[in-house]
Structure 1
Amino acid sequence: MAFTRATGKHRRASRTARTTRNIAGIATLAASGVVASVASPALAATDDAAHHDTGLQQAVVVGDELAGWIEAQADAQQAAAEAAAAKAKAEAEAKRRAEEAKKKAEAERVAKERAAREVERKRLNTFVAPVDGSYVSTPYKASSGLWSSGSHTGIDFHAASGTSVHAVGSGTVVEAGWGGAYGNNIVIKMNDGTYTQYGHLSSIGVSVGQTVTPGQQIALSGNTGNTTGPHLHFEARTGPEYGTDIDPVAYLRSHGVTV
């Protein structure tokens, strides 16, 4: 019984099939004299060989070897093409993933920067009390002969000498120095266009033109100017000058500060 075997993509055809094809090819070559030139050395070897070797058989062998070589070359070329295609595909995939990773990293960076800017914006727009953990010892508009206007133009925060005094919000210093009855004082133009004043200071830590942020230490409280004891005098104003005062408690509360 004869068995046949299917030829795959990389499997050579059977010898019989190759031989049949080669005979046809060699017959064509023979017509042009090529086979004669290939087979002539073998035919010239002995006279006896001429009786048993027709020349066509040697041409078939040579043709078979040539076909095998061509087939091997074709297989090698196909394998190289497949390897090149696989390499190109892998490189394209790696490039795509790298681009996706780059875009993701850039998006995360932008998101972080945006979040940081938002945090900073909120911080700069936040207001704080001028003295930590203190309370109002003298209210706004309290009446007394102690003040030339007859009433208190600000509020007093209880504070021993040397207590840290903070800017209540973001702004620019427009006055820093001696303020007459206010003693050593600081006036800040706030970013919203209002003004705040800090009086009776023992020392000043900022200068005119300097920008400040919420909670930044600007001075130490004291007992300078017209005062009956150490404390911080705080005013909120619509302008930089005396007489433009507004209710400091309402001002701080409107900016989220509990007083």
Structure 2
Amino acid sequence: MAFTRATGKHRRPSRIQRGTARAAGVAALATTGVIGTVAAPAAFAAEPSTEQTGLTPVVTMGDTVAQQIDAQAVAQQQAADEAAAKQKAEEAARKRAAEVAEKAKEAAEKARAAKERAAREAERKRLNAFVAPISGSYVSTAYQASSGLWSSGSHTGVDFHAASGTSVHAVGMGEVVEAGWGGSYGNNIVIKMNDGTYTQYGHLSSIAVSVGQKVTPGQQIGLSGATGNVTGPHLHFEARTSPEYGSDIDPVAYLRSHGVSL
């Protein structure tokens, strides 16, 4: 038994038929001008709102990220600038510190050099200075005083008052050329001074130097006593132009000419 498709009014049109009908309707409306006043069908409704599509949050988020990136870039640049400024300040401080240290070093070297020069000058003056043969003493018998006690009839030196055992000093810088027994002078020392003159120290109780030894002003060379031809302890001091007896000169004038106050 064959079946035939019913054509009654309740039959649903096919998809092609529905599309064709909509197209025909739109064309008819366009032809009659009614399309301008007829409400747009759902298929041609206005674009959905941004709230519905979710585009605005995306755009807003993009702007926020851009602002954050800009702010981060500004912060990074500021940090870089601050680091550069700090480094520059540290370099300047190191440079200033180095300059200060160098100046301090130069000042210290100058001060040290000045101190050394002053020390050398003081030592030179000390070595060139003259002192009394006995500190705080005085002349008890003058030069060329007359007496039968001396073979020449007069005193060839001066006597400094001194108890036995008093320290006797070299009056200046020189070299010992005699140290030992000297006859009537008892234990005596003769020094050739740097200026070419000679000084003699007699009647010593002890001798503390030897021939050939270099001595400096004020150096202890022995102790006073009463050896030799004496009437009591004292120091016999002579100044000579040679080491030989008879070349004596005024010892007080000699010492004063070298700055010694007597």
* TM-score, scaled to structure 2: 0.71
Structure 1 segment 129-144 matched on structure 2, within 5 A = 129-144=132-147
Rounded to whole Å, the distance in 1 between the matches of 2:260 and 2:72 is: 92
1:199 & 1:252 partners in 2: Cα distance? 17
Select the structure of larger CA radius of gyration. 2
Q: Take 2:122 and 2:54, find their aligned partners in 1: how far apart are those partners? A: 104
Q: CA deviation at 1:186?
A: 0.4
Could you tell me the percent identity over the aligned residues? 69
| In the alignment, structure 1 residue 77 sits paired with structure 2 residue 80 | yes
How many angstroms apart in 2 are the aligned matches of 1:136 and 1:68?
Answer: 102
Letter in 2 for 1:154: G
Per-residue deviation at 1:58? 5.7
2:207 & 2:179 partners in 1: Cα distance? 7
Structure 2 equivalent of residue 10 of structure 1 = none
- List gaps (5 residues or longer) in structure 2: 1-49
The reply on whether 1:214 has 2:230 as its aligned counterpart is: no
Query: How far is 1:91 from its partner?
Result: 1.2
Shift of 1:198: 0.2
State the partner residue of 2:206: 203
Q: 1:51 to 1:121 in 2, by over 3 A?
A: closer
230-239 or 150-159, which deviates more? 150-159
**Per-residue deviation, 1:119:** 2.6
Report the counterpart of residue 37 of structure 1 in structure 2.
none
Q: Structure 1, unaligned stretches of length 5 or more?
A: 1-46
Does 2:230 align with 1:227?
Answer: yes
Q: Distance in 2 between matches of 1:138 and 1:150?
A: 14
Matched residues, number: 213
TM-score, scaled to structure 1? 0.72
Amino acid at match of 1:252: L
Residues 1:240 and 2:240 are matched in the alignment: no
Q: d(CA) in 1 for partners of 2:232 and 2:212?
A: 30
Q: Check if 1:185 corresponds to 2:188.
A: yes
Separation (CA, whole Å) in 2 of partners of 1:117 and 1:257: 22
Query: Separation in 2 of the partners of 1:100 and 1:230?
Result: 62
RMSD: 2.5
| In 1: Cα distance, 2:99 partner to 2:89 partner | 15
